[in-house]
Copies of this chain bind each other. A is one copy, B any other.
Amino acid sequence: MYNSNRTNKPTFLDSKMGLERLVFFSDAVFAIAITLLALEIRLPVEATNLTNQNLLAVLLSIWPKYLSFIISFLVIGNFWIAHHRRFSLLTRYDNRLLVLNLLMLMSIAFIPFPTSIISENGNRTATIFYALAIIVTGLLSALLWWYTAWENRLIDKSVDKQEVRRNLLSILTTPAVFLLSIGLAFINPDLGKFSWILTAPAALMLR
């Protein structure tokens, strides 16, 4: 892995080890963000030495926290699977890819915050704020893929135009659904959120 052609002056941008580190670093950020989601599941007050009855009531009352944990876990997991799949086609990388990838990871690392907001506030503002965070992540993912794949800039020559376009549309599904949910949230916040529950598993299965 480290014994790549060292006789020539090394080029930074197409070493396999560099590509591996990039993939590794991205995976680590995905894994940390997805696991940190669970830290948002907390009891509302420092509840110690409760009776059986009271503890049960408290555990049941925080169901929006479980739900938002599950949704965000599936959403980030879905973005990870997409990243996983597309980066397996990369054959080289450049500086702009590093920067675009970093911006996309920033939007992933941000997701635990809107998750905590929506788990404590069920209203329209929270719903839209959450949807916006997912839309930004989706658009940055699409931009990343577009930069990577357009005219096979950094991916394998064997991937044809149609597959590139098909992938781009597939990525844009998630932000499209969440854009729609903003519209639905203006009618009823729960309707907006309900549309996610349907789409998250769908996205996982279909792709």
Is A84 touching B21 in the complex (CB atoms < 8 A)? yes
Is A69 touching B110 in the complex (CB atoms < 8 A)? yes
Ranked nearest first, the 4 interchain pairs of A and B with the lowest CB-CB distance are A28-B31, A32-B35, A55-B125, A77-B102
Is B50 touching A10 in the complex (CB atoms < 8 A)? no
The complex is assembled from copies of this chain, and their number is 4
Name the interface size band of chain A: 35 or more
Is A18 touching B88 in the complex (CB atoms < 8 A)? yes
Q: Given A9-B158, A106-B70, do A31 and B29 touch, yes or no (CB 8 Å)? A: yes
Q: Given A51-B123, A77-B102, A158-B6, do A88 and B38 touch, yes or no (CB 8 Å)? A: no
Residues from chain B with Cβ under 8 Å of A110 in the complex: 38, 41, 69
Is B3 touching A16 in the complex (CB atoms < 8 A)? yes
CB pairs A–B below 8 angstroms (18 shown): A1-B1, A6-B158, A10-B88, A10-B89, A22-B84, A24-B24, A25-B31, A27-B28, A34-B109, A35-B36, A36-B36, A36-B39, A38-B112, A41-B110, A48-B121, A50-B123, A52-B123, A99-B205
Extra inter-chain contacts (6) besides given A21-B84, A28-B31, A49-B121, CB under 8 Å: A9-B158, A18-B88, A25-B80, A37-B109, A50-B121, A81-B102
